[in-house]
Amino acid sequence: MKEPIAKPSMESLQAFEFEKARMVPMINIVRLGLLAVFLTLAFAFGGAGGQESWQQRMVPGGVYLATGLLLFFLQRMDSSVAGLVQNSIWLFDVPLVFIVQVSAMSVTDNPGAIASFTAGVYLILIMASTLTLDEKQIWLVTFTSVAAAVSMQALAGDTGGGMTSCTALLLGGGLLCNFAKDRRMELVETVVEERIQRDELARYLSPEIVTEILSAGHDIEDGKKYEVTVLFNDVRDFTELTASMKPEEIVELLNDYHTRMVNTVFQFGGTLDKYLGDGLMAYFGAPMPHKDHPMRAVRCAREMAVQLEQMNLERDRLDKRRLKMGVGIHTGEAVMGSIGAPQRMDFTIVGEAVNFASRMEGLTKENDVAILISEQTRQRIGESTFFTQLPPVKVRGKTESVTTFMVKT
């Protein structure tokens, strides 16, 4: 229906912020999960195994765990600390990992192995920073991790080649994590835009037609000409009917009437074009083409009469005045597109077919019939016992009299 937008919509930006807020608790959960694994290893190798390097890690590891728990409970008690949690990986995790690992290097015979292992830990932290869905945060974690890992390499006495490899590994991890973040945000934007499109289409189309359009990737083009069958529906003598009614009663009446009529339009695969106060305009055959669109419109009109009778039976029980309606139907070509001023656009159809269908609805009152169709609609459907030909009548905008047909309800 529309060209892909160059910038995220306001709805997409709001979804991004919601997704970021949703990910904040995950940062704390991932941190505590990794710390639980680390402390389990520390107790296993340091406590039971007696390895001094793991024993050295237990005290700073305990401080690390206390910091992680503090951040976890602060975030649960006060959502305003979400910004602190988003910054916590490079502010707390990177330096605390450095402190924990350096403490083990002083008592080991193989500091290079600890330095290499730490580079892997920093790569995990860079991956965890993807949860922030923030490019700045990912790069802050990446650069602080590079600085800390290179410092560890230097303390371990590694060569310049080792430092270069470590730097390349972590920077590559940062690039990949940013790529993953961008794909995640693109997915969020796609989902939001599809939801917006679905909601927009659902204003005019039945759920089945909306699903068919979106699943088939059907393109609804602006300015495209369709052969359609247009239906106008109007409540007879509405002004007189509502003269003694309260405003809230009028609104309730119209909502009830429109709900029944629109559901009927959707039942037969029609498109709701617009509400017209006490009436509505709908069409069949677009945006999803149906070869039988004239018959769909006629069946819809007849079902509208059934729905109106059910509504009137309910009104009879409440001792309220019965409603009458007029339905005019015409088949012809119309142009579909987004029409209006930039501030307010409506997706609608325009053309002679629309004007003539409106005049057909006006003739229902003159002929005292509920449903009236044009000769063009009758020709497309063929002969039917539902139709009764009426005498030719003059119609505004036409030089010759036109033939119309009453539809039996």
- How is the chain split into domains, by residue range? 10-199, 220-407
Mean pLDDT of 303-312: 97
What pTM, to 2 d.p., does this model score?
0.59
> What six digits make up the tokens of 174?
């940062």
- Tell the CATH superfamily of the 220-407 domain: Nucleotide cyclase, GGDEF domain (3.30.70.1230)
Task: State the average pLDDT over residues 76-84.
Answer: 78
8 Å CB contact between 147 and 193: no
Read off the pLDDT of each residue in 127-155 and give the average, rounded to a whole number.
91
Instruction: Return the amino acid letter for 162.
Output: G
Give how far Cα 42 sits from Cα of 28, 32, 230, Å: 21, 15, 76
Mean pLDDT of 205-234: 74
Sequence-distant (6+) residues with CB within 8 A of 372 are 326, 327, 328, 329, 360, 361, 363, 364, 390, 404, 405, 406, 407
Task: Look up tokens 């401080």; give the residue.
Answer: 63
What is the mean pLDDT of the segment spanning 94-112? 86
Is 151 in contact with 118 (CB distance < 8 Å)? no
CA–CA separation, 47 and 122 (whole Å): 25
> Are 156 and 109 contacting, i.e. CB atoms less than 8 angstroms apart?
no
Q: Which pLDDT value is given to residue 218?
A: 57
In three-state secondary structure terms, 134 is coil
- What CA–CA distance (Å, rounded) separates 69 from 76? 11
Beta bridge partners of residue 275, listed in sequence order: 280
Euclidean distance between CA atoms 364 and 220, whole angstroms:
33
pLDDT for 301 beyond 90: yes
Are 65 and 35 contacting, i.e. CB atoms less than 8 angstroms apart?
Answer: yes
* C-alpha dihedral, 52 to 54 to 59 to 62, nearest 10°: -160
Confidence of residue 359 (pLDDT cuts 50, 70, 90): very high
State pLDDT tens for residues 27-62.
888 888 888 888 888 888 877 667 887 788 888 888
